[in-house]
Amino acid sequence: MCYSIDFRKQLFKIKDQDNLTYQEASERFGVPIRTLFRWNNCIEPKIKRNKPSTKVDVEALRQDVVENPDHYQYERAKKFGVGQSTIFYALKRLGISNKKNAIPSKN
């Protein structure tokens, strides 16, 4: 659950006004103590992580997609030495999806 920034600021404002401890503020507002300590360090919610992908070289994967557009994900995974799901998420981060045939074949 994500609490609004206004609620977080108001909580600390009341905590300071009433000289509440973290334990008392936790019981009063129904928020875990660990969450209050985390908010005290950084009140803004984390939107995305600051960690790069480490298993797959994205530029090499992008080049592989250009050179071999018809390869399946499991073939790319075998080539890069990772799992198929790793390739799936790396392609998703690159914004590359399966190319659909716009004109269906005739029966």
Q: Give tens-digit pLDDT for 29-64.
A: 999 999 999 999 988 887 777 776 678 888 999 999
Q: How far apart are CA 55 and CA 68, in angstroms?
A: 20
With beta carbons less than 8 A apart as the criterion, state whether 62 and 94 touch: yes
H/E stretch holding 85 reads: helix 84-94
Q: Is the pLDDT of residue 88 over 70?
A: yes
pLDDT at 106: 67
With beta carbons less than 8 A apart as the criterion, state whether 11 and 25 touch: yes
With beta carbons less than 8 A apart as the criterion, state whether 86 and 56 touch: yes
- Cα–Cα–Cα angle for 40, 20, 42, rounded to 5 degrees: 5
Q: How much is the mean pLDDT over the chain? A: 87
Q: How far apart are CA 4 and CA 77, in angstroms?
A: 41
Please give the average per-residue pLDDT across 84-103, as a whole number.
82
